[in-house]
């Protein structure tokens, strides 16, 4: 039976390498029912579950491997990755650190630790150092440099990120993810006269301002809509004009505080660009409607269009959460 399950493990590894982890799972499950004390098979099963995006069964399989004979460092790596996928970052970090303790010279343990640390904001700086150690241990492994680039990208260390991605591509030129990440780094570094930190500070200023604009346009538009029923009058134009002025004041304060970075920010933060476009359209429509009211117009349709733009933009602000 030992030879039989060993053969199954080899076939499962081949299936996973060919991009067929689901078939590997189907192959390993019955074999483990017959021989549940094969640690390598449990590790292979955990890896296959991670490949198909199933962290719960992956964690269960890794835990089974940890109590059996075999490569416990591999089982710890798999457990750490599964815990990280489940959002249990503290436990994932403990498992990954234990993996490094068991095999301090294994670059794969440090890669997993770097990935886990990079997932939590308060340990991202440490993740860069751990990934740097992994790259030092494995100078011929593209994966080590990719993880270093990913960790540096999260802390906006553009120089380290670009060097790491370029090193990874020198080892594996066909990796499309690394090509895409390198393009992102170069695009962000190319902001004229602005650092990544300046863009981050501008984003921190912009999102609260956009939240205030959302509140003004959504709540103010609803009040105007109710007040203008069934037929708006020129008097309502004073109130809609005040709404437009209030929005301009909030935007003006943002521009004064953020200065040049605010104008560049939409190029590097797509959600800011989308929200800004929607709120800009809403404000222009309300301003045009205000002028039309003073000229004697009695339609409410432009206000409805402007309010809908503000509502969609406000939804993006709420769901985006400033990330």
Q: What string of DSSP letters covers 31-51?
A: HHHH-TT-HHHHHHHHHHHHH
- Cα distances (angstroms) measured from residue 66 to each of 88, 103, 112, 221, 224: 19, 15, 17, 60, 65
Q: In CATH, what number does 117-190 get?
A: 1.25.40.10
For the domain bounded by 1-103, which CATH number is listed?
1.25.40.10
Q: 142-154: string of b/e by CB count within 10 Å (b at 16+)?
A: bbbbbbbbbbbbb
Comparing C-alpha atoms, which of 173, 111, 102, 165 is closest to residue 136? 111
Tens-digit pLDDT string for the chain (323 aa): 444 788 888 988 898 888 899 998 998 888 888 888 888 899 999 999 988 899 999 999 989 888 888 788 888 889 998 998 888 989 999 999 989 998 888 999 999 999 999 988 888 899 999 999 999 999 999 999 999 999 999 988 888 898 999 999 999 999 999 999 988 888 776 555 555 556 667 777 888 889 999 999 999 999 998 888 888 888 898 999 999 999 999 998 888 886 667 777 787 677 888 889 999 999 999 999 999 999 988 888 999 999 999 999 989 888 876 55
> Encoding tokens for residue 56?
């719960």
Query: Is the C-alpha dihedral spanning 71, 141, 169, 96 positive or negative?
Result: positive
Angle of helix 21-34 relative to helix 39-51, nearest 10 degrees, comes to: 150
CA dist 101 and 87 (Å) reads: 23
Q: Provide the pLDDT for residue 45.
A: 92
Distance between CA 248 and CA 273 in Å, rounded? 17
Instruction: Round to whole Å and give the CA distance between 11 and 27.
Output: 8
Query: In the chain, what are the domain boundaries?
Result: 1-103, 117-190, 196-320
Q: What is the pLDDT at residue 186? A: 80
Cis peptide before 290 (omega within 30 of 0): no
Name the residue among 40, 38, 48 with its Cα closest to residue 81. 48
Write out the two tokens for 206: 């912009």
Beta carbons of 85 and 55 less than 8 angstroms apart: yes
Smallest CA-to-CA distance from 66 within 84, 81, 54, 78 is with 78
pLDDT of residue 273: 86
CA distance 45 to 183: 35
Which residues, in sequence order, are CB contacts of 303 under 8 Å at separation 6+?
221, 224, 225, 228, 232, 240, 285, 286, 289
Burial profile 258-286: b = 16 or more Cβ within 10 angstroms, e = fewer: beebbebbbebbebbebbbebbebbbebb
262 vs 204, 248, 256, 270, 310, CA distance in Å?
10, 15, 9, 13, 20
- Using CA atoms, how far apart are residues 81 and 95, in angstroms rounded to an integer? 9
**Alpha helices, H only, 191-269:** 196-227, 234-258, 260-268
Return d(Cα 73, Cα 52) in angstroms, integer: 22
Q: What is the pLDDT of residue 3?
A: 47
Domains 1-103 and 117-190 share a fold: yes
What pLDDT, on a 0 to 100 scale, did the predictor assign at position 40? 87
């Amino acid at each position: 039976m030992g030879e039989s399950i060993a053969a199954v493990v080899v076939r499962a590894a081949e299936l996973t390498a060919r991009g067929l982890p689901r078939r590997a799972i189907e192959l390993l499950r019955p074999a483990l029912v017959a021989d549940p004390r094969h640690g390598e098979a449990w590790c292979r099963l955990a890896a296959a579950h991670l490949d198909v995006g199933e962290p719960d069964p992956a964690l269960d399989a890794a835990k089974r491997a940890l109590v059996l004979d075999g490569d416990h460092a591999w089982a710890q790596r798999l457990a750490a990755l599964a815990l990280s996928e489940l959002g249990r970052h503290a436990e994932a970090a403990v498992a990954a650190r234990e993996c490094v303790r068991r095999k301090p010279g294994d670059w794969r343990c440090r890669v997993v630790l770097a990935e886990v640390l990079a997932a939590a904001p308060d340990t991202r700086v440490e993740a860069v150092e751990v990934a740097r150690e992994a790259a030092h241990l494995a100078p011929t492994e593209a994966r080590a440099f990719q993880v270093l680039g990913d960790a540096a990208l999260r802390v906006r260390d553009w120089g380290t990120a670009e060097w790491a991605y370029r090193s990874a591509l020198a080892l594996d030129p066909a990796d499309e993810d690394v090509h895409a990440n390198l393009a992102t780094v170069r695009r962000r570094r190319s902001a004229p006269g602005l650092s990544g930190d300046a863009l981050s500070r501008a984003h921190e200023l912009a999102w609260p301002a956009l939240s205030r604009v959302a509140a003004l346009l959504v709540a103010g538009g609803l009040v105007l809509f109710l007040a203008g029923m069934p037929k708006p009058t020129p008097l309502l134009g004073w109130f809609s004009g005040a709404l437009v002025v209030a929005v301009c004041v909030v935007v003006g304060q943002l521009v004064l505080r953020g200065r040049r970075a605010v104008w560049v920010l939409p190029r590097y933060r797509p959600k800011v660009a989308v929200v800004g476009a929607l709120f800009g359209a809403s404000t222009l429509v309300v301003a045009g409607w205000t002028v039309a009211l003073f000229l004697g117009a009695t339609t409410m349709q432009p206000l409805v269009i402007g309010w809908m733009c503000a509502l969609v933009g406000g939804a993006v602000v709420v769901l985006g959460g400033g990330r």
